């Protein structure tokens, strides 16, 4: 069994996996007990599992744990807390941009990645960037408002 070491939300962690192709998401939610990223489609198509690898948003359900080795992984837990939210989280809370909450972690990660490369997006750019993150409750309008609010913070 191989051991993979990477940084998770600022601290060094190691996980054992029999299969180097085990999805990073399983390691995060299982062995590491980090439950922000969600298993949605399992095919990299809905964005519920999104995490930051270094500064880029990635789909943890299709990224193998072996690919995380040596990288910096950030989940929504690594951004802030309810008491001290990160600016993007604060914008989502201010806009009440969550209903059931299943997509929210991935939405925040996608917004975080967008704002890292385009700090002042237009609404169209925000729509494009968030296009691959699905919300079945229908909170997209509030989510876009939150992204725009965060860009102005």
Told to check if 66 binds another protein by CB under 8 A, we report: no
Instruction: Tell me the window of 10-18, 46-54, 55-63, 75-83 that interacts with another protein (CB under 8 A).
Output: 75-83
Cβ-contact 50, 95 below 8 angstroms:
no
Closest CA to 150 of 88, 57, 79: 88
Told to check if 98 binds another protein by CB under 8 A, we report: yes
Told to check if 104 binds another protein by CB under 8 A, we report: yes
d(C-alpha 68, C-alpha 119), whole Å? 26
Query: What six digits make up the tokens of 107?
Result: 């939405």
Tally of helices (H runs) and strands (E runs) in the chain: 6, 5
**Shortest Å distance, C-beta 104 to another protein:** 5
Binding site for another protein (CB under 8 A): 36, 76-77, 79-82, 85, 89, 92-93, 96-101, 104, 108, 137
């Amino acid at each position: 069994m191989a051991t993979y070491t990477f940084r998770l939300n600022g601290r060094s962690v190691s996980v054992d996996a029999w299969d180097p192709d085990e999805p990073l998401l399983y390691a995060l939610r299982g062995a590491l007990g980090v439950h922000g990223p969600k298993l949605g489609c399992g095919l990299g198509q809905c964005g519920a599992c999104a995490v930051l690898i270094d500064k880029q948003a990635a789909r943890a359900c299709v990224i193998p744990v072996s690919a995380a080795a040596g990288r910096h992984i950030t989940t929504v837990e690594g951004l802030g807390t309810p008491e001290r939210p990160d600016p993007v989280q604060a914008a989502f809370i201010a806009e009440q941009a969550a209903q059931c909450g299943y997509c929210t972690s991935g939405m925040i990660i996608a917004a975080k990645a967008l704002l890292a490369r385009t700090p002042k997006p237009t609404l169209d750019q925000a729509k494009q960037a968030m296009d691959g993150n699905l919300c079945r409750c229908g909170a997209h309008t509030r989510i876009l408002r939150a992204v725009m609010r965060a860009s102005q913070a």
